[in-house]
Chain A
Amino acid sequence: MFLINCPYCGERDQSEFSCGGEAHMVRPKQPTELSDDQWAEYLFMRKNIKGVQFERWNHAHGCRKWFNMVRDTSNDKIHAVYKMGEKPPVE
């Protein structure tokens, strides 16, 4: 059960949050210009890394804000949280 540092509220229990999958998947500005394969790449393909991964999280039972998290999926260490629109920290 993680302790997650919401960028707006501070440290809260994981049960207040929900995970929204891989971060920095930018919705194509012109989906209609894409081929089936290109669209499928955006629609279906997610990395699911064992190791450091960038994820979207939502403080669903709190401030309802979405934010990003850098988490190592192999040991659940959270390396960073940052607001939507902010640049991911470089390691």
Chain B
Amino acid sequence: MTKFRVNKTKHVDQTKTVSFNFDGKSYHGFDGDTLASALLSNGVHLVGRSFKYHRPRGIMSCGSEEPNAICQINENTDLTEPNVRATEIELYEGLKASSQNCWPSVNFDIGGINNFISQFIPAGFYYKTFMWPKSFWKKIYEPLIRWSAGLGKSPTKPDPELYDHKHVHCDVLIIGGGISGIIASKIAAKNNLRTILIEDKNILGGSTIFQKNENYKINNKYSSEWLDDEIAELQKLDNLTIKTRTSLAAYHSYNYLLAKENISDHLPLDKKNGGIRQRLWKIRADKVLVATGAIERPLVFNNNDRPGIMLANSVKKYLDFYGVSCGFNNVIFTNNDSAYETAVSLKEKGISVEIIDIRKKSNSKIVKNAEKLGVKIYWNSTIVNTFGHRKIKSIEIMNLSEDGSNVVGDKNRINCDCLAVSGGWTPMVHMHTQSGGKLDFRENDQTFIPTEIDENHINVGSCNGDFELEEIINNTNKKVKNFLKVSETEFDNTSVLNSKELDKRNIWLLPNYISEGKCKSFIDFQNDSTAKDIKLALREGFKSIEHVKRYTTTGMATDQGKLSNMHALGIIADTAGVKMGTLGTTTFRPPFTPLTFGSIVGRSVGKFFDIIRKTSIHEWHSQNNAKFENVGQWKRPWYYPINDEGLHDAVQRESKAARDSAGILDASTLGKIDIQGTDASEFLNRVYTNAWSKLGIGKCRYGLMLNEDGMVYDDGVTTRLGENHYLMTTTTGGAANVLSKLEDYLQTEWPELDVYLTSVTDHYSTASVCGPNSKKILTKIFPDKDFSDEAFPHMSYQNAKIDEINCRIMRISFTGELSYEINVESKYGKSLWEKCIEVGKEFKITPYGTETMHLLRAEKGFIIVGQDTDGTMTPIDLQMDWIVSKKKYDFIGKRSLYRSDTIREDRKQLVGLLTDDPNEVLEEGAQIVSDVNKKPIEMIGHVTSSYFSPNLNKSIALAVVKSGKKMNGQKLIVPMENKNINVTVSDSVFLDKENKRIYA
């Protein structure tokens, strides 16, 4: 046992030694310690360097508010984690932790030089200084700042651990397992409500669990003992789920909350066993009770950041809960009574302590208790300076003037090895405000208190501004009864004894004889912003708290200003001479404490990251060496390289084969919507730009669908299967959106239409066979069928059978070749495909992928919605005037086609481009200009599709160009990084303008 471990407690098992390593040195702690308590038991206070000035910093608190003790744990392993608070890490055998932000070591580091030049690093320093010269930013300033600031290292390897999500519903969710949360849980569960209690620590009880003081008694027991009994009874309740090591991350509207449960973070590395590390609870609660407690405030005075300066209640917890004394020569600096509990605890264990109190007097019971124990108290005094580099050695105090605005009298020096500070308490209102709740300002102790607004959400205990034991118990009981509509509880007649605080005094920035400019009175310890910075920001004209916060970076570190926000507000109010309550607070945003990415994504990693859709023919593609492309969630064959063929060679070969003999494409991914109903024809008339009423049964038609703004939305071929029955195809990527758009119109604009839509994309598989020999292949597959142009014309459909399998055959073409699409039920897709391949062998049928499909259609000038269009193209812009019906009275988007903007003649219009050098292939997306000499150069369009066509033996491209319709034959330029490419505007149909090939 080390000399700092002065006390035996039941929370730390001193028979179980745990060894760990910090900054390369081995230490011992005990089972039940946190990393922070174990370090303190070894006398280690210095744990890091501050962000900007690299000042030595020590452990300051015992919870999630900790600004200084930020560690990297298990460095150089897959499980390394940065930005972990030592106060929250449960100690385990073999834990390795190191300080962050302190290269080359915590005791000596080069950034410390910043401390000496700190008068040159004021608020907004980064904004002001590093702005120029501009060339310095990228090469000098940024690397310098990043290197010297270093807030930890992220792991470089894939996270080997598992994470889980869990969805739960409950009647009552209670956040926080302190005394109020325990009372509330008991009432809720005993009244037959399904209750969940979550607590971020590993045990319940909050700060009452280590309160063993004569002045705080419940039903004549020490409050800690009373609470022990209550906790024991809680465990027996059937309706209650208690989740410890579970912290609330976010409180969204309608009582939807996220909580993170730590399952294996406290276990040694070799005991984690690859199980689940963290579980994210997604909770929908009927009622939510927030009992998150309060955080102790520091005080703002000169050099208030040295190692050994801690929060008073944390000093008490280290002593009474962990059995560790943070010093043997303690001084307490306070403005309130609660710090006297720390003094009494120390004194009762025979440890030296003195008190500096800024108040003029206090006659409460706890203060009298301290005086009786012989604790020396300096009333009406303040600390003006502290000394000691790596740990505090002494302080200098002075008396306060009557109004507290100045210091008077002589300086008095006091030696100490620990300074426990208390500036009062701040209710943790984060959850309340995250949920949309508002705050009221309470003048007498300068706190923001939740305003109750919601019948399904209340705050109880110290997060609601009740700081004294009696208030906490009685108000919690009363509020919970009211909230849960319970008439009586076992807590109705609880007798509570506690010391009452009678005198209050608060000074946000303590005065000093040293000029303000030379004081380093820290507000935000992690981001190193001082009172001086805040005042400078105000002088420079920043008035809003949100602006001051960003300019000075106060409250923007990983602790989100848990210790600093109130002081920043107080100093702004004092300096600007306004009431603090009128300033409002900065916004509290989730997460309350940082969440791991693992817990956010849960199991949605690797192959579960997104849904993968495969066609029924996928296996064949894989076996035949297909390279796949993602199209939405679909995996589509991109090209089928033979041997070590690259993309270019494969595509050239595939396209040539499709035009010279036969090609086959898996077209199963195209969206398919089954449309039925007596008004189906009328419906199509309204959603497509062309006319549909006269389409005969058994015929197919290409349709273009617009948005109401006149812009092309989707396209595809629709087949009339029967009098009142159509099959619509959509683009692969647009299927879901088209269906929901059509549903929208049907349900909301035209509910009178008798039309039913069903998505059948996954129901059918499609093999598209094209090329001059496709008819021969089809004839072999369907020997009974007459495929002559008369019996089976282009743009028509017929039913057929292979054995007993029903097939729908559409004679339609997206390649410009004679082409048939055979549709079968998905389960027969692969057999159909294999049959086509087998039969097609003698014609060297060649499977081709999306890249070849794109090339073939580009040769014909067919557009791809989403590639050649971008939501700003009308059919007129696409030179597809022929598909817009002049006769139809209305269709979606019709009126927009002659708005003043859509009839402009200088809109970007689709054209073909031919490069002067036929071997030069343009880059898709490249800009097009007409004059490179006139500066600034005007961009008049861009390339949308570009390929080398093996069938034409030259480069071809589609592009959108301003006034392109009138430019046929005109020379334009595509400027690239190293050269200008000369191009000529052409017709967008490059091959077979007469459409002869579809009748091959």
Contact = CB atoms under 8 A, between A and B. Distances in A.
A35 to B, nearest CB: 10
B658 to A, nearest CB: 39
Contacts of A34: 895
Contacts of A54: none
A64 interface: yes
B747 A65 contact: yes
A45 to B, nearest CB: 13
A30 B890 CA distance: 8
A64 B748 CA distance: 12
A41 to B, nearest CB: 12
B130 interface: no
Contacts of A65: 747
B369 to A, nearest CB: 47
A90 interface: no
A54 B708 CA distance: 21
A36 B708 contact: no
A22 to B, nearest CB: 12
Interface in B862-893: 889-890
A60 B740 contact: yes
Contact of A66 (B252, B254, B744, B899): B744
A25 B748 CA distance: 10
A3 B284 contact: yes
B923 interface: no
B899 A1 contact: no
- In this complex, the interface size class of chain A, counting residues with CB under 8 Å from chain B, is 20 to 34
Nearest to A75: B436
A58 interface: yes
A30 to B, nearest CB: 7
B256 A39 contact: no
A85 interface: yes
B743 A76 contact: no
Interface in B411-448: 436
B590 to A, nearest CB: 12
Counting chain A CB atoms within 10 Å of each CB, which of B253, B436, B896 scores highest?
B253
A39 B254 contact: no
B221 to A, nearest CB: 43
Contact of A3 (B256, B709, B896): B256
A66 B743 contact: yes
B890 A84 contact: no
Nearest to A39: B895
Contacts of A64: 740, 743
Contact of B751 (A27, A76, A84): A84
A40 B895 contact: no
Nearest to B453: A75
Contacts of B899: 36, 39-40
B709 to A, nearest CB: 6
Interface in B729-764: 740, 743-744, 747-749, 751
Contact of B748 (A3, A56, A60): A56
A62 B751 CA distance: 20
A75 B254 CA distance: 11
A27 B749 contact: yes
B725 interface: no
A1 to B, nearest CB: 4
B744 A58 contact: yes
B633 to A, nearest CB: 15
Contacts of B895: 31-32, 34, 39
Given A58-B740, A58-B744, A66-B743, A31 B894 contact: yes
B740 A43 contact: no
A84 B748 contact: yes
Contacts of B743: 64, 66
16 contacts: A1-B252, A2-B254, A3-B256, A13-B256, A13-B284, A20-B744, A31-B890, A32-B890, A36-B900, A39-B895, A58-B744, A64-B740, A65-B747, A66-B748, A84-B747, A85-B751
Given A2-B253, A27-B749, A60-B740, 11 more contacts: A1-B256, A3-B254, A14-B254, A31-B895, A34-B895, A58-B740, A66-B748, A76-B253, A76-B254, A76-B436, A84-B751
The 10 closest A-B CB pairs, nearest first, are A31-B895, A1-B256, A3-B254, A1-B252, A66-B747, A76-B253, A27-B749, A39-B895, A2-B254, A66-B748
